[in-house]
Amino acid sequence: MAVAQRVASSTQIWRLKEIAARMRIDIIEMLAKAGSGHPGGSLSAIDILVCLYFSQMRYDSKRPDWPDRDRFVLSKGHAVPAQYAVMAEAGYFPRQELMTLRQLNSRLQGHPVNTALPGIEACTGALGQGLSVAQGMALASKLEGDKFHVYCMIGDGESQEGQIWEASMSAPKFKLDTLTVILDNNNGQIDGHVTEVMNLAPIADKWRAFNWNVLEIDGHDMQQILDALAQAKATKGKPTLIWARTVKGKGVSFMEDQIAWHGTAPNAEQAAKALAELRAADARLQKERP
């Protein structure tokens, strides 16, 4: 289904782009400091996360256990540096804590841990599981009269897990219009391109065949992301899957679509090069301020 056009103000779009540009810098700095982690999938996901946290979702970062909050479950948990970056920006914790990523006793575990960090909704990262958990939250919302909306991000590589398809069967059965799934389709996984390791194409057709409302977007176009999220929330009677075509490593030229950057942190030199690119991009954006 085509995404209905709703024109967000140019100021709003610029603001989201500006946040995303800074978040990309945070991601690289965090990973370089940690010395390990997953840049590729964090950079492909970040524009969508920025739209969720700074436009779409209803939450209070000072009250992470507010029962009526919208939920976000990052099923592809290895991209959690992207979520930590937006959570710090949203005020869940001080920004300097980002530099504790993956360190002993840090709340910022290598994959998301709800019992460690308030604002994380569930433990994920064992791939294939987060969508079912999000579905449970969306069911709870239905039982409470649609009190909140649940967003879940899955990966295309992750969609090789059978549990994803178990959940894809059940959410339409339960008429879960309280659930929106975003498929971060970056075509990368550890052993190669998804299309080669275990091809899922035509993936949107599969979700349509399982009776989902499917929206197709460019996962780096803020306007398209906002429109799709709004349309998903307005859709009644069935869950929505937003098929977001993305670029792994987006924003850092030498990481883009390079499989090697799935799960390798940049060394000091590589980080400096990446940060120079990202800061230049941010500086260009600052000049375009509406």
Which position among 22, 107, 118, 174 is part of the footprint of other proteins (CB under 8 A)?
174
> Cβ closer to other proteins: 113 or 230?
113
> Nearest distance from residue 65's CB to other proteins, in Å?
10
Contact 157, 191 (CB under 8 A): no
> Nearest distance from residue 77's CB to other proteins, in Å?
9
Contact 254, 84 (CB under 8 A): no
Q: Is 141 in the site for other proteins (CB under 8 A)?
A: yes
- Give the distance between the most distant pair of CA atoms in the chain: 53
Residues across the chain: 290
Contact 147, 67 (CB under 8 A): yes
Q: Is 167 in the site for other proteins (CB under 8 A)?
A: yes
Contact 2, 71 (CB under 8 A): no
- β-bridge mates for residue 188, sequence order: 193
State the Cα–Cα distance between residues 80 and 189, nearest whole angstrom.
Answer: 16
> Nearest distance from residue 73's CB to other proteins, in Å?
8
Contact 224, 180 (CB under 8 A): no
Contact 279, 28 (CB under 8 A): no
Which position among 123, 203, 281, 285 is part of the footprint of other proteins (CB under 8 A)?
123
Stretch that binds other proteins, among 94-102, 113-121, 194-202, 280-288 (CB under 8 A): 113-121
- DSSP 8-state code for residue 183: E
Q: Is 138 in the site for other proteins (CB under 8 A)?
A: yes
Q: Is 47 in the site for other proteins (CB under 8 A)?
A: no
> Cβ closer to other proteins: 115 or 253?
115
Which position among 131, 194, 274, 278 is part of the footprint of other proteins (CB under 8 A)?
131
Q: Which helix (H) or strand (E) holds 154?
A: strand 150-155
> Nearest distance from residue 136's CB to other proteins, in Å?
2
> Cβ closer to other proteins: 75 or 224?
75
- Applying CB under 8 A, which residues contact other proteins? 67, 71, 73, 113-115, 121-126, 128-141, 143, 162-163, 166-167, 169-170, 174
